[in-house]
A and B are shown apart, each in its own frame.
Chain A
Amino acid sequence: MNLRELAPAPESTAILNLRDSYGLYIDGRWVDAHGGSMATISPATEKPIAEIGLANAGDIDLAVKAARKAYDTVWSRMSGSERGKYLFRIARLLQERAREFAVAETVDNGKPIRETRDIDIPLVAAWFFHYAGWADKLDFAGLGTNPRALGVAGQIIPWNFPLLMLAWKVAPALAAGNTVVLKPAETTPLTALMFVDICEQAGLPAGVVNIVPGLGEVAGQALVTHPGVNKIAFTGSTSVGRHIARELAGTDVALTLELGGKGANIVFDDAAIDEAVEGTVNGIFFNQGHVCCAGSRLLVQENVHDEFVEKLKRRVSTLRVGDPLDKNTDVGAINSREQLDRIEAISATGEPEGASRWTLECAVPKAGFWFRPTIFTGVSTSNTIAREEIFGPVLSVLTFRTPQEALDKANNSPYGLSAGVWTQTASRMLTMADGLRAGVVWSNTFNQFDPTSPFGGYKESGFGREGGRHGVTAYLAAGGAR
């Protein structure tokens, strides 16, 4: 029988209850935007989902003022255990409505329903649960007793994990006692706008969470430079991160940046080979490779290179590319035309610079943005595809001969966000982890996330940590008696 071609198993979109258009959510109310509007489209079909109002500088000003008022009058005066109750409520509501959010995220982002259902949304709830627990335990965050909140946090999040990045930002900020103004990414505002519903169901006081979709150069810029903001948390590209750092230099605004990456996934000859193959696939083809910590550089010990690459191609050949709503889809749509162009442009440098290209042969839908999983072998450290973040389903395979060479090559990158090491030898694992300049080092696994574990980068991958105790300290200052 033929099980490679499975009958379609699409998740229904009937559960969605979307509006035709969305404004801004400021001070506990929906208000009109004054920076125009744009449609958010489904990248798998290019069909519009809803019309989204865009905030201008005036709208941002209102949002920051609402957040300030809520901070001064309600949220900063509330006890940690009371704040925690709101966060627990939000976490439970997200769990109850998990399927609805999973479908919405898949429609808006293009990522497979398998991932939104099994990874994104469960992690979102886990993040709120984790930080709900922190709200009344801030004395144990490592800043002494009575640490204080920073005030109003401006948060700008990317399009690759829209709701999860919201959770990473909003949950610790609220737990620590800050209020927030959050700008979702231009191409993926939908679940952030649906999150408003959750806040209202949870009875969150007005102004504690403000959601303001908009363009980066307008709304993002206004938020970063607003004098009423005490903290900026940004996740996105290194170039924008650099711009924000320049804008905030010399001010007293706290800043954390989580930027790009070119993660090295290092496979030794004594690795559990089949599991390393699986981890490599998860490392680069998870979420279409739209992952800042993706294992986009595979470093394989030269003596197992051929065997490993053969097994890898075999495994990639079983990936199903297509309709993200189909429960069997492994690789969905590229998030936008712009990103597709970028992936194509960088990938096009591979062969002229000497690498060999292998692309999964598979049919993809006519409409929408698609890029077939691609593996480059024979890549040198000087190749563009080994240096630049592609942010797509493109793997560059390099080789090494000794552990030291693996370390040197892995660290030879302007980035330093993630790395993976595959070996059955525990001592080698520890030595490698010690030598890798990366914020996250995965041991015999890749792309695993947990709210208790800090996440962040070295060098051009940014600074500051999100997740765990470190994540909550990013929204606190040492206090004293209050």
Chain B
Amino acid sequence: MTENSDSALALRAARLYYDEGKTQDEIGEILSITRWKAGRLLALARESGLVSITIANDAASPAAAPSSGIIPTARSRAHGVVDSASLRAFVTALPGVDAIGLEGRAARIATRSVKNESKREALDTIIRLIDLTTLEGADTPGKVRSLVQKAVVPDPADPTAPRVAAVCVYPDMVEHAVAALGDRAGDGLTGIGVASVATAFPSGRSILEVKLADTRYAVSKGATEIDMVIDRGAFLAGDLDLVFREIAAVRRACERPDGTHAHLKVILETGELRTYDNIKRASWLAILAGADFIKTSTGKVQPAATLPTTVLMLEVVRDWFALTGERIGVKPAGGIRQSKDAIRYLVAVSEIAGDEWLHPYLFRFGASSLLNDVLLQRQRMTSGHYSGADYVTID
């Protein structure tokens, strides 16, 4: 075998391994070589620079695992590549989380009093940050069209009410949402985005091929954002490498032919990860693997979003920013139904990550009934009295 063809084979092996998450066994089968040969090809790919694995020893980075000294940099993230041992060493060396302290911090945030003009502004901000969601087995094109209308004109009685950031639907509903939006479509700021859950949502219990196909389908139909779920089973079993490679592969599947990509929100399903240490590790893992957003929950598992969990995830994106200068978004989803609760999340964003995170590119609420409660609060602030559920539209 010539050196040239070995390189070509190494490149193919690397693609299969890193982009599609194949094991060395599977690569061997596909390329008709032994798994040892596959391993050697992967090593060659790394040594020859075909694949760049960047684990930098970055002394100037204050925010991450001080005791490990290993800081994956933004560059490794861009390549979607990191080796398994370093990954494990890195996330397990992250400082732990003291549950009582974290919950105390969240409770203190919840005592902030947001009144008058601040409240008015907060309510409008909440609307601008909502991913208006329908994720039911009973969803139909008609239901999705109706949801889109609500997203565009949340309050027919008050044209000053802003529109939401995005609608969030299942992959087979993406085309209907895109059609209903027409020229009002955008990226959450420029117009209304279309977010699609994917990767065998909500459990994620399927094979990678299916998850990637799910993702590619939604992107091809015009989804501007993909909300994927991580493999919680693999995470809890300690197979961090698999979780990482799946996220990286889905991130590639988000790419469009023109080189842009649908923004990737990675759902950690914090209600299944349970401990704050796990949530912190999964947050870092998702960001390293290429997440544009980290998202708490599917909404199908209890508990869904909580304030302490969101505070913790905001701390991670704040630290990532300090480390790399790159801003990652956070999306609490599920269980946030009242304006009062949502305002507490805004305060958390402001105090933990900073006011610049109060932007559709960097913070979203995954919610459905929240919108109407915010509209009722808005109406009260405008008119001075409470109306009722029949003064806002169902969807």
Residues of A within 8 A of B (CB): 1-9, 114, 118, 269-276, 278-279, 303-304, 306-307, 310-311, 318, 327-328, 424, 444-445
Contact = CB atoms under 8 A, between A and B. Distances in A.
Interface stretch (B30-38, B92-100, B163-171): B92-100
Contacts of B125: 1
B358 interface: yes
A255 B347 CA distance: 48
Contacts of A311: 62-63
B351 A307 contact: no
Residue in A2, A6, A279 with the greatest tally of chain B CB atoms within 10 Å? A6
Contacts of A270: 67, 95-96
Contacts of A1: 121-122, 124-125, 346, 355, 358
B115 A444 contact: no
A328 B118 CA distance: 12
Given A4-B350, A118-B111, A274 B67 contact: no
Residue in B98, B104, B358 with the greatest tally of chain A CB atoms within 10 Å? B98
A275 B117 CA distance: 32
A327 B63 CA distance: 32
Contact of A307 (B62, B96, B347, B358): B62
A348 to B, nearest CB: 30
Contacts of B66: 269, 303-304, 307
B369 to A, nearest CB: 23
Contacts of A279: 101
B261 interface: no
9 contacts: A1-B355, A2-B121, A269-B66, A270-B96, A272-B101, A275-B97, A279-B101, A304-B66, A307-B66
A307 B65 CA distance: 10
A3 B120 CA distance: 11
Interface of B: 62-63, 66-67, 95-98, 100-102, 104-105, 111-119, 121-122, 124-125, 315, 322, 346-347, 349-351, 355, 358
Contacts of B63: 307, 311
B109 to A, nearest CB: 10
B104 A114 contact: no
Chain B interface mostly: helix
Contacts of B100: 444-445
A275 B104 CA distance: 9
A148 B240 CA distance: 65
Given A269-B66, A303-B66, A3 B350 contact: yes
Given A1-B121, A328-B112, A272 B95 contact: yes
B105 A3 contact: no
A175 B66 CA distance: 51
B1 to A, nearest CB: 50
Contacts of B347: 3
Nearest to A306: B62
B111 A275 contact: no
Contact of B117 (A4, A7, A304, A307): A7
A269 B67 contact: yes
Contacts of B346: 1, 3
Given A1-B355, A444-B101, 19 more contacts: A1-B122, A3-B122, A4-B355, A6-B115, A6-B118, A7-B117, A8-B115, A9-B114, A269-B66, A269-B67, A272-B96, A274-B102, A274-B105, A274-B315, A275-B97, A303-B66, A307-B62, A307-B66, A318-B351
Given A1-B125, A1-B355, A272-B101, A6 B114 contact: yes
B111 A278 contact: no
Contacts of B117: 7
Contacts of A8: 115
B95 A271 contact: yes
Contacts of B102: 274-275
A7 B118 contact: yes
Nearest to A5: B118
Nearest to B346: A3
Contact of B113 (A9, A118, A306): A9
Contacts of A306: 62
A445 B96 contact: no
Contact of B101 (A3, A118, A318, A445): A445
Nearest to B354: A4
Contacts of B118: 3, 5-7
Given A3-B346, A307-B62, A275 B112 contact: no
Contacts of B350: 3-4
A48 to B, nearest CB: 28
A91 B157 CA distance: 51
A66 to B, nearest CB: 42
Contacts of A275: 97-98, 101-102, 105
Residue in A1, A5, A306 with the greatest tally of chain B CB atoms within 10 Å? A1
A425 to B, nearest CB: 10
A3 B355 contact: yes
A445 B104 CA distance: 10
Nearest to A446: B101
A444 B122 contact: no
B25 to A, nearest CB: 38
Contacts of A445: 100-101
A6 B111 CA distance: 13
B96 to A, nearest CB: 5
A283 B357 CA distance: 29
A267 to B, nearest CB: 11
A85 B97 CA distance: 43
A72 B46 CA distance: 91
B98 A7 contact: no
